[in-house]
């Protein structure tokens, strides 16, 4: 795995190759500001980079990443609501047109929610990871009843359930609900399979995740 010195080598390749090719784009966004049309809510997992998967130029997508690509439900009590703040900024200020919740295969956060362990270690009580993963406690119950808590089928079902839960939580934000009902905002679910390199999109009619061509 790269150390910081190796990351700097990558930066130097960026400066010599990518930056000159993208110079006009960087200059434009520096002068005009960002104007993305799509927000991606993805997982912090190092294997799943939305910009790489969707092959986009700088300024084209607004991204927030966290453990398991989760969105907490809307709440008004004081606190440091990082994901909610990012969603508010994207929807209210940047006026993006679509929000995509993108989960992925082999997600450690979803596996932790399912098994109550993270990398074979108990989550513990009151820790940051435990509290965050607890957002999936409601979604976990039907998955565990139907598939158990072990095996790839159960993990995949939990990954799909987490995406659906985050979409449901997004709709608890009053201004998101209003914009979606008014046709000004589209919410989408997606799942990237690391082992296949295939993106699956949530079909609104069937509720199933279908592979993209």
- What string of pLDDT tens digits covers the 213 residues of the chain? 679 999 999 999 999 999 999 999 999 999 999 999 999 999 999 999 999 999 999 999 999 999 999 999 999 998 889 999 999 999 999 999 999 999 999 999 999 999 987 766 776 666 788 889 999 999 999 999 999 999 999 999 999 999 999 999 999 999 999 999 999 999 999 999 999 999 999 999 999 999 999
25 and 86 assigned to the same domain? no
27 and 99 assigned to the same domain? no
Alpha helix segments (H runs only) across the chain: 4-13, 19-32, 50-54, 82-88, 108-115, 128-133, 137-147, 152-170, 174-181
9 and 57 assigned to the same domain? no
pLDDT for 126: 61
The CATH number given to whatever domain includes residue 52 is: 3.40.1050.10
Domain that holds residue 23: 1-33
15 and 106 assigned to the same domain? no
Domains: count for the chain: 2
Whole-prediction pTM: 0.94
DSSP string, 133-155: HGGGHHHHHHHHHHH-SSSHHHH
156 and 200 assigned to the same domain? yes
24 and 93 assigned to the same domain? no
CA distances from 99 to 126, 167, 175, 199, 211 (A): 30, 9, 13, 16, 19
pLDDT for 124: 63
pLDDT for 127: 77
160 and 148 assigned to the same domain? yes
Query: From its phi and psi, is residue 197 left (phi > 0), alpha (psi between -120 and 50) or beta?
Result: left
pLDDT for 125: 63
23 and 95 assigned to the same domain? no
10 and 60 assigned to the same domain? no
105 and 166 assigned to the same domain? yes
120 and 202 assigned to the same domain? yes
* CB atoms inside a 10 Å sphere around CB 116: 14
Please give the Cα distance from 129 to 109 (Å, whole number): 9
26 and 109 assigned to the same domain? no
Please give the Cα distance from 86 to 32 (Å, whole number): 20
Please give the Cα distance from 158 to 151 (Å, whole number): 11
């Amino acid at each position: 795995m790269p150390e910081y010195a190796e990351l700097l080598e990558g930066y130097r390749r960026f400066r010599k190759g990518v930056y000159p090719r993208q110079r006009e784009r960087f200059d434009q966004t520096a002068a005009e500001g960002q104007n993305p049309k799509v927000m991606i809510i993805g997982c912090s997992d190092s294997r799943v980079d939305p910009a790489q998967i969707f092959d986009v130029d700088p300024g084209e997508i607004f991204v927030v990443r966290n453990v398991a690509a989760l969105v907490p439900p809307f709440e008004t009590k004081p606190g440091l609501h990082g994901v909610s703040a990012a969603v508010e900024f994207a929807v209210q200020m940047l006026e993006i047109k679509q929000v995509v919740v993108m989960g992925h295969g082999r997600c450690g956060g979803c596996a932790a929610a399912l098994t109550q362990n993270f990398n074979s270690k108990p989550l513990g009580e009151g820790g940051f990871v435990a509290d965050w993963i607890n957002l999936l406690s409601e979604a976990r119950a039907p998955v565990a009843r139907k598939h158990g808590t072990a095996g790839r089928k159960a993990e995949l079902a939990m990954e799909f359930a987490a995406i659906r839960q985050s979409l449901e939580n997004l709709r608890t934000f009053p201004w998101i609900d209003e914009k979606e009902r008014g046709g000004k905002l589209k919410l989408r679910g997606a799942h990237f399979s690391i082992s296949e390199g295939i993106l699956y999109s949530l079909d609104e009619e069937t509720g199933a995740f279908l592979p993209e061509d």
